[in-house]
Amino acid sequence: MNKNDLISAVADNSGLSKSDAGKAVDGVFNSITNELQGRGEVRVVGFGTFSTAQRKATTGRNPRTGEAIQIAASTQPKFKAGKGLKDAVNH
Give 12-53 pLDDT, tens digit per residue: 999 999 999 999 999 999 999 999 999 999 999 999 999 999
> Could you tell me the pTM of the whole model?
0.81
Instruction: Place domain 42-91 in its CATH homologous superfamily.
Output: IHF-like DNA-binding proteins (4.10.520.10)
Beta bridge partners of 78: 51
Predicted pLDDT of residue 55: 95
